[in-house]
């Protein structure tokens, strides 16, 4: 048995995450992925990227400092290979490529700005095992700050995937139009028209938090009525009161409502009455990609 550590850095629109996982290799068996640690820093890139299409210097400085910290955390954890990806906010920022170069120069961390479809594909990699075990055709939905990624599984195989510019920060910034919703609805209707029954599976920090707040047992689905009641209740309170009454972090208290509304809208589009919420996301898929790259001979070494 061999145990190695791999890491993924996910630079999202609402926060920046570092996930470190143990990969346990045994002869004649599939590798096991075990979470070692997850660190989340609320550097909200989308707040400016979706309004002015540029990330300001003060935010860039915070991001670079977070990357320097992540480098040392990976070093003391003996991480042997990592992958860094930036998503919707960096895709939209006119200075995104410039920031990537600065991160490599000042923090020694390589970052790639990935497309929405690449993001959806990596999320699929983290979800494949779960999809194969739910026993239904599945619609996987990951709601982030800048985009929503949807992957459709039929008989355990991914048959379609798409990224949409609908996310919590965009909603709060009033950057999601009726046309955006129509595009999503039309695509989902078209891709699921031959499917009679399927399970809806949600990922992302907000749906995980809503699932926890509902006190639903792990493995059991969250009903649409329960989710609707929770979102309606949260909307009654100010952001400050949400933090006090529901023990929410400041960068979660504002986005949790639009996230819940995105999931609810999609559930209504496809007439789904419940949603499964396994603890998965982009970072999980990235670690699997990192391991695959390592086995193929690639290795990002930390300076």
Q: What is the pLDDT along the chain (303 residues), one digit of tens a residue?
A: 899 999 999 999 989 999 999 999 988 888 899 989 999 999 999 989 998 999 999 999 999 999 999 999 999 999 999 999 999 999 999 999 999 999 999 999 999 999 877 877 777 666 655 555 565 678 889 899 999 989 888 876 778 889 899 999 999 999 999 999 999 999 999 998 888 777 888 988 899 999 999 998 887 899 999 999 999 999 999 999 999 999 999 999 999 999 999 999 999 998 899 999 887 777 888 888 899 889 998 888 777
Evaluate if pTM is beyond 0.85: no
Name the CATH code of domain 2-115+283-295 (choices 3.30.420.40, 2.170.190.11, 2.20.130.10, 3.90.1150.10): 3.30.420.40
- Give pLDDT, residue 67: 97
Q: Where are the alpha helices (DSSP H) in 135-238?
A: 168-172, 178-191, 205-213, 224-235
- Give pLDDT, residue 73: 97
Residue tagged 């990592």 (tokens) = 82
Residue tagged 């100010």 (tokens) = 238
Domain boundaries, the chain: 2-115+283-295, 116-281
Distance CA 57, CA 63 (A): 10
- Give pLDDT, residue 131: 56
Torsions phi, psi for 31 (to 5 deg): -65, 145
Distance CA 185, CA 198 (A): 16
CA separation, residue 250 to residues 33, 231, 238, 239 (Å): 31, 17, 11, 8
Torsions phi, psi for 299 (to 5 deg): -155, 120
> Do 222 and 275 contact (CB within 8 A), yes or no?
yes
- Give pLDDT, residue 135: 57
Pairing assessment for the beta strands 198-203 and 274-276 based on DSSP bridges: parallel
Same fold, 2-115+283-295 and 116-281: yes
- Give pLDDT, residue 285: 82
Distance CA 184, CA 193 (A): 14
CA-closest candidate to residue 283, choices 48, 1, 39, 64: 39
Q: Which residues contact 19 (CB under 8 A, 6 or more apart)?
A: 7, 8, 10, 35, 37, 38, 283, 284, 286, 287
- Give pLDDT, residue 128: 58
Query: Is 3.30.420.150 the CATH number for 116-281?
Result: yes
């Amino acid at each position: 048995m061999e145990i190695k550590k791999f890491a993924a850095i996910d630079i999202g629109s609402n926060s920046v995450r570092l996930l470190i996982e143990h990969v346990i290799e045994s002869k004649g068996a599939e590798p096991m992925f075990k979470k070692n640690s997850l660190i989340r820093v609320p550097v909200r890139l989308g707040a400016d990227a979706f309004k002015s299409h540029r990330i300001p210097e003060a935010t860039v400085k915070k991001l670079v400092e977070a990357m320097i910290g992540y480098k040392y955390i990976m070093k003391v954890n003996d991480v042997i290979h990592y992958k860094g990806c930036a998503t919707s906010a960096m895709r939209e920022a006119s200075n995104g490529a410039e920031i990537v170069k600065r991160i490599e120069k000042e923090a020694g961390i390589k970052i790639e700005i990935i497309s929405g479809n690449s993001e959806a594909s990596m999320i699929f990699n983290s979800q494949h095992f779960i999809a194969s075990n739910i026993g239904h055709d599945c619609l996987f939905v990951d709601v982030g700050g800048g985009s929503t990624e949807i992957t459709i599984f039929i008989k355990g195989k991914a048959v379609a995937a798409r990224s949409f510019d609908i996310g919590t920060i965009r909603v709060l910034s009033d950057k999601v139009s009726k046309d955006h919703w129509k595009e999503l609805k039309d695509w989902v209707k078209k891709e699921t028209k031959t499917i009679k029954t399927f399970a809806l599976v949600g990922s992302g920090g907000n749906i995980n938090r809503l699932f926890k707040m509902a006190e639903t047992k792990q493995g059991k689905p969250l009903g649409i009525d329960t989710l609707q009641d929770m979102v309606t209740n949260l909307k009654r309170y100010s952001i400050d009161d949400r933090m006090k009454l529901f023990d929410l972090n400041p960068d979660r208290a504002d986005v949790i409502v639009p996230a819940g509304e995105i999931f609810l809208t999609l559930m209504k589009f496809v007439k789904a009455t419940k949603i499964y919420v396994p603890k998965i996301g982009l970072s999980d898929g990235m670690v699997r990609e990192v391991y695959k790259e390592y086995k193929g001979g690639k290795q990002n070494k930390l300076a």
